[in-house]
Amino acid sequence: MGDATPAKEHILILLPLPPNEEILGGIKKKHPGVTIKYVTLSFSAVFGLEPHNVPDGDFLEATILVTLAVLPNDIKFLKNIKLIHLFSAGADKVVDTPVWNDTKIPITNSSGVHGPQISEWVILQILANNHKQKLLLEWQKKHYWGKHTEVGWVRDYVGQRLGVLGYGAIGRQTARLSKALGMDVIAYTASPRTTPESKRETGYTVPGTGDDEGVIPSAWYSGLDKASLHHFLKQDIDVLLIAVPLTPQTHHFLGKEEFEILGKKNAFIVNIARGPIVKTDDLITAVKKSPKEGGLRGAALDVTEPEPLPEDSELWDVENIAVTPHVSGLGDTYADRAFAILDINLTNLEKGKPLINVVSRKKGY
């Protein structure tokens, strides 16, 4: 008998999750010859709080690396790697590493996997604010049957405008749900989207969700300069969804000037992107102002600066600000979808087709 057929790819998976044998078995069955080494790491190791202790030889043997942020200490151990697949949507954990700066290894991300659950969290927050859910829960705890006048009239979202700052998978699915509520949607992207082709989603989308053709927004805006951003924010926005990646261009992208513009419509701010995109003190000041003073209606933050949010942060106690501990993307389908992207790209590698969800080193996402 001759030698066994050599493995086409050797995948090294470094994640803080136990292996799902059904998913891994499906990948092996669909891609004969692929071998997989799965290493379950602690969250502390994944986020650099303790050494990861993955042997250099494991990196050296691999041709594809699947990771959240764990990389070898020396890029020479990645000399056989042809693809790094990030289990996160953002790439900010690997930006400014030697892998990013000193190699040309393609990096793909898991953008699109949590569009459904994060968009549901967004809708939950804007409805909870509108319907005084925090107050009603307090009443329930006190067994208090409050008066209608204490709740006040609710203005539903029909006819209100959602501004989506960053029209990716999360923004597109939120737009879809908001449209069902009767809202108008406008989109903002870094680069112009003036043609039907440019408005299409090219990355991973959970089937049956989103806005693949980019037809939901009634208008599109673009740019990374303040003038372009301010032009967008002046479009009578009632709810602003922050869904842009954190890059040097978007660091503290929204502060006093921007909140003053949005305050003219008493807008509500939702941030599911990254905390440092927003100047926290400016947001607190804007929410504390009354509508007559040009204040914001409120905010819902799943991300903060810093994280974890310190116990003594004022954000916890501002009446119209809801804070959750970066949990909007949690979902029992996360791993299935992130591995689905890897599966698609394995097929694309085999067929010589372009990879999906490729991170641009120039853009940072």
Tens-place pLDDT, residues 1-24: 444 444 589 999 999 999 999 999
Q: How many percent of the chain have pLDDT more than 70?
A: 98
Strand order, beta sheet including 161-165: 219-222, 184-189, 161-165, 239-242, 268-271, 298-301, 321-323
In the prediction, which pLDDT does 4 show? 46
DSSP label of 38 = E
Residue 121 carries which side chain, given as an amino acid letter?
W
Tens-place pLDDT, residues 59-102: 999 999 999 989 998 999 999 999 999 999 888 889 989 999 99
Tens-place pLDDT, residues 326-343: 999 999 999 999 999 999
Given a cut of 60, whether residue 181 has pLDDT beyond it is yes
Q: Which range among 11-25, 29-43, 44-58 shows the weakest confidence by mean pLDDT?
A: 44-58
In the prediction, which pLDDT does 5 show? 46
Query: For the range 151-157, what are the long-range contacts, defined as Cβ-Cβ under 8 Å and sequence gap of 24 or more?
Result: 154/130, 155/130, 156/130, 156/181, 156/182, 157/126, 157/130, 157/181, 157/182, 157/183, 157/238, 157/239
How many secondary structure helices (H) and strands (E) does the chain include?
13, 12
d(CA 270, CA 125): 8
d(CA 195, CA 200): 9
Going from the N-terminus, what domains does the chain have, and what CATH number goes with each? 10-113+333-351 (3.40.50.720), 115-323 (3.40.50.720)
Q: Mean pLDDT score of the chain, rounded to an integer? A: 95
Q: Which residue has the tokens 């969804």?
A: 241
Tens-place pLDDT, residues 188-210: 999 999 999 999 999 999 999 99
Decide if 272 contacts 323 (C-beta within 8 A). no
Band the pLDDT of 214: cuts 50, 70, 90: very high
In the prediction, which pLDDT does 7 show? 53
69: Cα separation from own chain's centroid: 16
In the prediction, which pLDDT does 250 show? 94
Put simply, whether the predicted model's pTM sits higher than 0.85 gets the answer: yes
Q: Which residue has the tokens 């209608």?
A: 148
Mean pLDDT of 274-296: 97
Rg of the chain over CA atoms, in angstroms? Answer: 22
Q: At what angle do helices 280-288 and 256-263 cross, to 10 degrees?
A: 30
Q: Which two tokens stand for residue 97?
A: 């590493």
- When mean pLDDT is compared over 5-9, 44-48, 121-125, the highest value belongs to 121-125
Burial pattern 21-44, b for ≥16 Cβ within 10 A else e, equals eebbeebeeebeebebebbebeee
Phi-psi label, residue 355: left if phi above 0, alpha if psi -120 to 50, beta otherwise: beta
Given a cut of 90, whether residue 115 has pLDDT beyond it is yes
Q: Which residue has the tokens 């764990």?
A: 70
Count CA atoms closer than 13 A to 183's CA, side-chain side: 27
